[in-house]
Amino acid sequence: MLVRDGPCAASCRWIICILNLILFVSSLLFFLVGISVQYFREWFVDLLRSAFQLRFFSTDENLPLKPAAQNLPFVPSFAEDLVTILNDVYIAPSLIALGVTFFIVSVVGFLGIQRQSRGILSWYITLLFLLSTLSAALCVVFYLRIESVQDRVEVYLYESLGDPSKNNDEKRYLNEQIHKKYRCCGYKNGYLDYIRSPGSKDLPDYCCNVEQAGDTDSAICSIDSFTHKTQIYQKCSKKFWVHVNRFYCLIMYVFGAIAVFSFLLGLMSGIAPIIKTII
């Protein structure tokens, strides 16, 4: 028996039941999100593209893209390619697997509570601790893959926008807008992306912080123009990564929270029979 009639034992049973209900609802949520990302790619890409247009590709922090940039065919393909890169760490399969696992564990939990069976309770506790371990492992995997994905995004940004030899007028326009908005320079190697030949020192005007240099009228942007590196903006990929990193941090926090929640629920379920014997 899981619990007997009694105020303390009954309270434990209801607490476990409520927490297990949260687990059940979470299973449906994770499964639906995973399915959406995996099989409704067009919808997910469109959502991500809209976010990019408002947060990264806009010429002002609070305004959407200018009409000329908003209609660039390059922007949709950019968002779709980035979805492929970001999904390289198997976000969708991980969410689907967690959703299915959550569902199985929650069903076992409801059966254990309803039948008040020690055998089912033992399986329930075991599955909860396994789920906690799996979630913690996924959290670590995502943490270890962040740097790899960051490098891939960096290379992609450079090849798509920063490489002068591959840029057409549309990409050059978008590249200039991004640099001006975020006050950044280059994507892969910072200002070195614009050193096109050995000995060349000239940089695009938007790469330099001329106000900090103290000469806003006649300053020429080049490596030798300023003595301090802070007067040449940092690379744009760092600015962009802030948005991507929030996404990965959210996933990591979710997996970490699942690990803690599953562990505590398993611990509480294991303590319930002890409370029953004491009372």
Provide the residue ranges of all domains of the chain, joining segments of one domain with +.
Answer: 7-185+203-278
- The pTM score is 0.59
Cross-strand bridge partners of residue 222: 202
- Which pLDDT tens digit goes with each residue over 95-144? 888 888 888 888 888 887 777 777 777 888 888 888 888 888 878 877 77
Counting as low any pLDDT under 50, the low residues of the chain are 1-5, 54, 58-74, 76, 213, 215-218, 275, 278-279
The contacts of residue 105 (CB under 8 Å, 6+ apart) are 23, 27, 124, 127, 128, 131, 262
Distance of CA 8 to the CA centre of its chain: 42
Give residue for tokens 């908003």.
Answer: 70
Q: Taking the CB of residue 132, how many other CB atoms lie within 10 A of it?
A: 20
Give the tens place of pLDDT for each residue, 183-195.
788 877 777 777 7
Please give the structure tokens belonging to residue 15: 């607490």
Q: What is the number of other CB atoms lying within 10 angstroms of the CB of residue 221? A: 22
Question: pLDDT, tens digit, for every residue of 199-209?
Answer: 666 777 777 77
Mean pLDDT of the chain: 69
